[in-house]
Structure 1
Amino acid sequence: MTTWHAELSRPGGAPPDLTAAHRPGPAARVRQPALDYYLVHPDGPGGSAAAPEGLVVEEFVLGEDCAAVRLDAAAWTPADGHWWDCAAFSRSIRVDAELRRRVVGVPRHEAATAYRRLGGGELPGEEVLRGHFHDGQPLSTAAPLRLDPRPAGTGPRDSRVYRVLFAADLRPDGLANLGGVWRMASTGDPADPQARIIGVAARRVGADSFTWHLRRIGGGGPWCLDLTADLAAGGGGALGPLLRELTTTLRMQGLIPVTIERFS
C-alpha cells in the first residue's frame, strides 16, 4: 500500500460530494483524443523539484452535449508495481491545496519518460490505461438553461455556453504563454483583486464561431474558462475537440480541471 492510500484516510473528512444520481451508459461516452497525465512528487523538502514518486492518469468523460459526466482515474507507483483505480485520490487533488502542490500536469511524453525512469518500462497505450479505470467519479449535471424557446439544435444556429472550472493557480508565466498560444487579448490585471475577466480569445472553425473568456472567480479564488459556442446547423463537430484543447492548454499552465459544465 502506498503512502497515497494512507493520505486519503487521514482525519479531516471526505471530499465534497461531486456525484450525480446515476452513472451514464455507454451511449453517453465521447472518446477523447488523449488522456490527462500528472506526476506526483513526494511531500516535504524539495517538493516538485524532487523526482516524482508516481503517476496519475485521468479522463473526463463527456456526454452527448459535451458536458462532463464522469472523471476516471488510475495511478501507478514503483512501490505498487501495478496500476490501480484512484478515484478517491483524484477527488482529493481538487479539494486539498497541500496535496495539489505535489501534482504537476505534464504531456504524455514526459509521463512516459518518468514512468521509464521509475522502472515501469514503456508506458502502456491509452486504451490499456483506460482498462484500469474501474470506479470513476460521476459528476453532477443539470439541464442547460434555455433562453431560446426553440428546441436545441433547431434553427440556423445553436448557441451554447460552457464553463470549465479549475483548481490551483496559473504558473507565473501562464498568462504570457496563453497570450501567445491563443492570441488572447488582456482585459484585466490579475494583480487587481477586483478583476474578474482577465483575457478573451476567439476562433472560427468552418461555419462555427467560438469565443472564450479566462475568468477568475472571486479575488484570489479559482479560475474558469467560459466558452461561448455559436454552432451552425448540423455542426458542432469541433466543439468537443476544442474544449479538450483549451482545457489541456490551461492544464499545462498549472491549473487542474474540476469539471466541464454546460450553462445554456
Structure 2
Amino acid sequence: MDYYLLAGDGILVEEFAYGDDHVTVGLGGAMWTAGSGGWRGAGSFGKALRTDEHLLATVTPVTRDRAAQVYRGLAGRPLPAEESLRGHFGEWVRFATTAPLRLSVDDTPDGFAERRVYRVLFAKELRDNHLADLNDTWPGASNGGIPGGRGRAGNDLFAWNLRRVGSGLAWGLDVTVLLAGDSPEVVGDVLRKLTADVRRRGLVPLTTERFA
C-alpha cells in the first residue's frame, strides 16, 4: 500500500490492482483528516488528484512508518493495520485496459521465450538531488543524467530508464523485460520495486501500461 500526507493534516492510503500481465486495472483508497471522525473511501479522489496540479501539490509520498507517526500525533492512536484500512476503501476505481501493441511479428531475442515493454507513468516533479540519488541507487549507467539500470532475476533480464514523457508533462519509467519462461510472475515484483524506488523520491504513480 502507498501512503501520502495531505496538506491540512490528512493522510491518504492507496493500493493499485493489477491484471494478469501486471498492468493497472484499478485503484482503491481511504482518506482521513483531522476532525473528520473516521476514514472514508478515496478511490475517486485519488484518480482526480492525478489530473489536478493543485491537488497534486497537496500530497507528499511517505512511508507507512512516517504516516503512522503523523497519525498518532494527530489522532492519538496507532494507524490501523492494512487489512483494516482496505475495509474503508469503498468502491474501487476501474482502469480501462487494451491489448499491448505488437510492432513486429516476433522481436524476442534468441534464448528467450518473450519480450515485454512496460511504462509506469508518474506525476509531480523530481528534484535534482533525487535524480542523482536514483543514479546512485540503480545498478546501471545513466543516459545524459537520466537514471536507468539493468538487472537479472533468475534467467530473466530487465532494463529500465526514467524519462520525461508527454511533452514534459509527466515522467515515464520504461522497463524492457526478456523472459526465459521460467517464472513470469517475477515481472510484477520487479515493476513494483522500481515503482517504489521512484515514488520514494517524491513522484506519484499514475498507472502501469504494457506496450509490447
The number of residue pairs the alignment matches comes to: 209
Q: Which residue of the other structure, out of 35, 39, 44, is the alignment partner of 2:5?
A: 39
Inter-partner Cα distance in structure 2 for 1:99 and 1:247: 21
Q: Does the 8 A contact of 1:115 with 1:123 survive in 2? A: yes
Deviation above 3 Å: which 4+ runs of structure 1? 147-150
Inter-partner Cα distance in structure 2 for 1:218 and 1:65: 24
Instruction: Report the CA distance between 1:250 and its aligned residue.
Output: 0.8
Q: Percent of pairs identical after alignment?
A: 45
Cα 1:234/1:184, change in 2 over 3 Å: closer
Please name the residue that 2:148 is paired with. Answer: 200
Inter-partner Cα distance in structure 2 for 1:80 and 1:218: 37
Please name the residue that 1:4 is paired with. Answer: none
Inter-partner Cα distance in structure 1 for 2:55 and 2:192: 25
Structure 1 residue 263 corresponds to structure 2 residue 203 = no
Inter-partner Cα distance in structure 2 for 1:234 and 1:205: 11
Q: Which residue of the other structure, out of 180, 185, 191, is the alignment partner of 2:136?
A: 180
Letter in 2 for 1:96: D
Instruction: Report the CA distance between 1:183 and its aligned residue.
Output: 3.0
Please name the residue that 1:80 is paired with. Answer: 36
Structure 1: which 5+ residue stretches go unaligned? 1-34, 43-52, 190-197
- TM-score norm. by structure 1 comes to 0.74
Instruction: Report the CA distance between 1:145 and its aligned residue.
Output: 1.8
Instruction: Report the CA distance between 1:95 and its aligned residue.
Output: 1.2
Q: Which residue of the other structure, out of 159, 167, 174, is the alignment partner of 1:226?
A: 174
Q: Which residue of the other structure, out of 186, 194, 199, is the alignment partner of 1:238?
A: 186
Greater share of strand residues, 1 or 2?
Answer: 2
**RMSD value, Cα:** 1.9
Structure 2: which 5+ residue stretches go unaligned? none
Cα deviations by residue, 1:153-199 (Å, 9 ceiling, x for unpaired): xx94211111101111113311111011113422125xxxxxxxx23
Inter-partner Cα distance in structure 2 for 1:257 and 1:120: 30
Inter-partner Cα distance in structure 1 for 2:140 and 2:87: 38
Q: Does the 8 A contact of 1:183 with 1:201 survive in 2? A: yes
